[in-house]
Every structure is written in C-alpha cells, then in structure tokens.
Amino acid sequence: AVHLEESGGGSVQPGGSLRLSCAASGYTFGSWCMGWIRQAPGMEREGVAGIDSDGVPHYAKSVKGRFTISQDSAKNTVYLQMNSLKPEDTAMYYCAADLLRSRDALSHTKYNYWGQGTQVTVSS
C-alpha cells in the first residue's frame, strides 16, 4: 500500500525558513509525480510545488523563487525547502503522490494518495 508521511512543520517568524520532508513507500519512487499541497482554514487547497517523473520541478506563482522541491531517491523522500516565509504561507501542508502527467503536478484534484499533513505557522 502507498504510504506518505510528512514531517518538518512548525512555527517560524516571517522571513524564516522551514524544510518539510515526505517519506514515501509502496510504489516505485520517482516514477510518479509528487506534490506539496497546502490548505489554510477557510481556503481551498492549493498545489504549491510538484516534481514530475522526469524530476522536473513545478511551482505555483505564489511560492516561486522562495520554495524549492527536491527528492532523494536513496531515501525515497521528497523535500520542500521554504525560505522567506510569509504569514500567508500559514497552512496545513500535505504531501501527495500519483501517476500523473507533468502538467498535472500542481493539480491537487488529480492526486489520490495523501499524507496526514504537517502544520506550518508563520507569525511574529
């Protein structure tokens, strides 16, 4: 069975950094798209970063230049390095995976496999 487990969330001041990790199992790592999707209270889910099966990263405009997605195939883990964090980045962050086309890497509605989420709070 596919299993995704996030870690690394927490509280940070504006301008700070966090790195989220997502450990994956149950499928051939690297053969699927993996995405980071966030949801703030009362808001719709937003795909903020994804990496496709060719290892190409994709970013939402809201985080481009501040967030970096990467993967370590030896550890079956995807990371989201978040720099220059803003209060509007506050949300629950979920890792998701599925066999998707590259163009759907940020499409949260396309993913069928999700982790439990990790909270990120940016506040002074």
Note the pLDDT tens digit of each residue in 48-72: 999 999 999 999 999 999 999 999 9
By the 8 A CB rule, do 107 and 100 touch? yes
Identify the burial level of 37 via C-beta atoms within 10 angstroms of its C-beta, where 0-12 means exposed, 13-18 middle and 19 or more buried: buried
pLDDT, position 75: 96
Report the amino acid identity of residue 97: A
Name the β-bridge partners of 37: 47, 94
Note the pLDDT tens digit of each residue in 81-120: 999 999 999 999 999 999 999 999 999 999 999 999 999 9
Note the pLDDT tens digit of each residue in 5-19: 999 999 999 999 999
d(CA 43, CA 61): 17
